[in-house]
Structure 1
Amino acid sequence: MSAEETRPGAARDSVQQGASDAAPEPSPEQSAATQRRPQRPATLVFTQSVLALQAFVALFATLVAWSFARNGLVEAPAGWVAGGGAALMVMLFYAAGKQKKRWGRALAWVLQVPMLVAGLLVPAIAALGVVFLMIWIMALRLGSRIDRERKERDEAAAARSNEDTQVDGRMSE
């Protein structure tokens, strides 16, 4: 072993050197392109996530209500329960995909109602509906707040950038 290999951190340095040899530095055009990619709105991410999760909960709630209907614990036709639950699940997934559109948000509000009304069959489903309604409201409120703060931060950074450019222009004259 050489003296270089026995010094503390030599192995780490050689690994870091090997890693830098394997991955070349991105060109300025590539790094600028990745930095310019716009960030997805927080409201969009939150609402899509809530609706997708709610669709899975609707699936499992449908299975519970369907088994209750088949075993006579709930007075409802099992086929209607299964069909209605499947339709709700599909519509929730569809609404999750349409959150970029204004009417997608309205559709999602409307789809909160069946989860609450399903509590007439199984009260636990209404409890899940209330929980998801609260999560939905929080997703809208927090998402819009985050989006507003991001916009303010970007505007402040742009203003600072313009000021720096103007100062640099005066210095070179």
Structure 2
Amino acid sequence: MSKDRPAPGDRIKPKKSALVQFTATTLQLEAFVVAFAAVALYGLRDSLYEKGPLELSDPNVIWVVGGVLVVALLVLSRLTAKPVGLAGGTVAQVLVIATGLALPMMYLVAAVFVAMWVAALRLGTRVDRERREYDAAHPETAPNV
């Protein structure tokens, strides 16, 4: 027998959801970017750099707001297996866009992450659906649940 195909009676582990993997990865990457944006905003707080309509010159506000957003993104990345995690991730995209009020370059960065979020939702759902269809058509290689 080939090693590519399982033998009868072998336990086949279920695959992790592509939707969960894609969305969690997007939120985790976004958390790092938000952390670096907080560092940039802290460094630019007293400079002549073109600031957005919301000027944050108090370092405590910068770190608290940035830290809360980073922690929220990381917590949401662990909840993406549940509908509340996906809904929260979508709301988090709006909050990341709002960081552009303090650091205008974040509008561009947030737009990239919104595109990644939408792609993660669409492609993850599609991959999971195609996996289910394949498993239904090939029960001998379907995971034992």
TM-score normalised according to structure 2 size: 0.82
Q: Greater relative contact order: 1 or 2 (C-alpha under 8 angstroms, separation 6 or more)?
A: 2
| 1:45 and 2:21 matched | yes
Give the Cα–Cα distance (whole angstroms) in 1 for the partners of residues 23 and 124 of structure 2.
8
Question: Do the aligned residues in 2 keep the contact of 1:70 with 1:78 (CA within 8 Å)?
Answer: no
Aligned partner of 2:10 in structure 1 is 32
| 1:91 and 2:72 matched | yes
Aligned partner of 2:86 in structure 1 is 105
CA shift for structure 1 position 70: 4.5
> Gapped runs of 5+ residues in structure 1?
1-27, 162-173
Overall identity of the aligned pairs, in %: 32
Aligned partner of 2:110 in structure 1 is 129
Give the Cα–Cα distance (whole angstroms) in 2 for the partners of residues 70 and 99 of structure 1.
38
The AA in structure 2 aligned to 1:46 is F
CA shift for structure 1 position 63: 0.6
The AA in structure 2 aligned to 1:49 is T
CA shift for structure 1 position 78: 2.3
Secondary structure in 1 matching 2:111: helix
The AA in structure 1 aligned to 2:101 is L
Runs of 4+ in 1 over 2 A off after TM superposition: 70-75
Say which of 109, 126, 149 aligns to 2:130. 149
**Aligned length, in residue pairs:** 129
Give the Cα–Cα distance (whole angstroms) in 2 for the partners of residues 72 and 120 of structure 1.
16
Aligned partner of 2:41 in structure 1 is 65
> Gapped runs of 5+ residues in structure 2?
1-6, 141-145
